[in-house]
Amino acid sequence: MQNDHLIIDLQRVMSQIMATRNTDRLSPDLSATLAEIRRLVKAVRPSDEDQHECVSETRPDVEQMVRTLTGADVSESIKGYFDLHVGKLFFLVGEMDKAQMHYQKALALSHKRADLKLKADTCKRIGDLAYRQNRWDEAENNYLKALELYKQSNDLHGQAHILNDLASMHFPKCEWERLEQGLNQALQTGEQCGDLSAMAKAHNNLAVAAGIRGDFDRVKHHLSETIALFEKTGDRRGLAEAYHNIALINKKCGKWEHAGKLFARALAIAREINHIYLIGLNYYHQADLALEMADYEVALGYGQKCIEYFERLGNREGLAEGYRLMGRIHRFQGQYQPAMDYLKKSLFLNREISQKRNEGETLRELGLLWRAQNQPRKAKQSLELALHIFRGTNSHEEFKRTKELLEQSDTN
Lowest mean pLDDT among 63-67, 205-209, 375-379: 63-67
Kindly state the average pLDDT of the residues 80-96: 79
Domain-wise residue ranges, the chain: 1-154, 321-412
93-147 pLDDT, tens digit per residue, is 677 888 899 899 999 989 888 889 999 999 999 999 998 877 888 999 999 999 9
List alpha helices for 56-133, DSSP H.
60-69, 76-92, 96-113, 116-132
273-287 pLDDT, tens digit per residue, is 878 889 999 999 999
Model confidence at 324, pLDDT cuts 50, 70, 90, reads: very high
Lowest mean pLDDT among 72-86, 163-177, 318-332: 72-86
Nearest to 44 by CA among 101, 96, 90: 90
7-24 pLDDT, tens digit per residue, is 555 556 555 555 544 434
Kindly state the average pLDDT of the residues 373-379: 95
Nearest to 109 by CA among 91, 87, 128, 90: 87
Nearest to 224 by CA among 199, 253, 194: 199
Model confidence at 2, pLDDT cuts 50, 70, 90, reads: very low
* Under 8 Å between Cβ of 339 and 305: no
CATH code assigned to 321-412: 1.25.40.10
27-49 pLDDT, tens digit per residue, is 555 556 655 665 555 555 434 34
Q: In terms of C-beta distances under 8 Å and separation of at least 24 residues, what long-range contacts does 279-282 make, across chains too?
A: 279/47, 279/48, 279/309, 280/305, 280/306, 280/308, 280/309, 280/310, 280/312, 280/313, 280/315, 280/318, 280/322, 281/244, 281/306, 281/318, 282/244
Query: What is the CATH architecture assignment of 1-154?
Result: Alpha Horseshoe (1.25)
230-253 pLDDT, tens digit per residue, is 989 888 888 998 899 888 888 877
Q: Which has the higher per-residue pLDDT, 307 or 312?
A: 307
- Write down the pLDDT at residue 8: 56
For the entire predicted model, the pTM comes to 0.68
